[in-house]
């Protein structure tokens, strides 16, 4: 049964800051198989982002296809996730329940911020 995809709408005041460089997503740790987009076959990358909104900060790992990574994306860059979706997941591994939310964006755009003079 497919997991539900939930569109995530960020407030206008939300700020997202990249915390890591893009990291190639590995589908199978034992074989080293790279995760790819089901439709395009493109390699997938994960970027850790700090989302600051309403006086709170949360860490999110967002999966993005290679073509959706902005040139010059590096830690500390202000980014805007485009077409951001959340997919809740749960699994039992070694008798323990693990659950969470997977985030996926079509792309991460760099946000140009103006410096006050």
- Which DSSP symbol is given to 36? B
Tell which residue, 87, 86, 38, 88, has the closest CA to residue 65.
38
- pLDDT score, position 34: 95
Q: How far apart are CA 86 and CA 7, in angstroms?
A: 6
- pLDDT score, position 1: 56
46-95 residue pLDDT tens = 999 999 998 899 999 999 999 999 998 999 999 999 999 999 988 888 89
Q: List Cβ neighbours of 93 (8 Å cut-off, separation of 6 or more).
A: none
Instruction: Please report the sign of the dihedral spanned by the C-alpha atoms of residue 78, residue 106, residue 85, residue 44.
Output: negative
pLDDT at 116 over 80: no
């Amino acid at each position: 049964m497919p997991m539900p995809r939930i569109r995530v709408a960020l407030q206008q005041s939300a700020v997202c800051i990249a915390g890591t460089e893009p990291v190639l997503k590995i589908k199978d740790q034992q074989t080293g198989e790279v995760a790819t987009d089901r439709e395009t076959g493109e390699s997938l990358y994960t970027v850790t982002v700090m989302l600051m909104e309403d006086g709170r900060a949360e860490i999110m790992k967002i999966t993005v296809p290679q073509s959706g990574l902005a040139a010059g994306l590096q830690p500390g860059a202000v980014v805007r996730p485009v077409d951001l979706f959340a997919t809740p997941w749960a699994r039992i591994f070694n008798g323990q329940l693990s659950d969470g939310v997977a985030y996926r964006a079509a792309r991460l755009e760099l946000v140009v911020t103006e410096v006050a003079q």
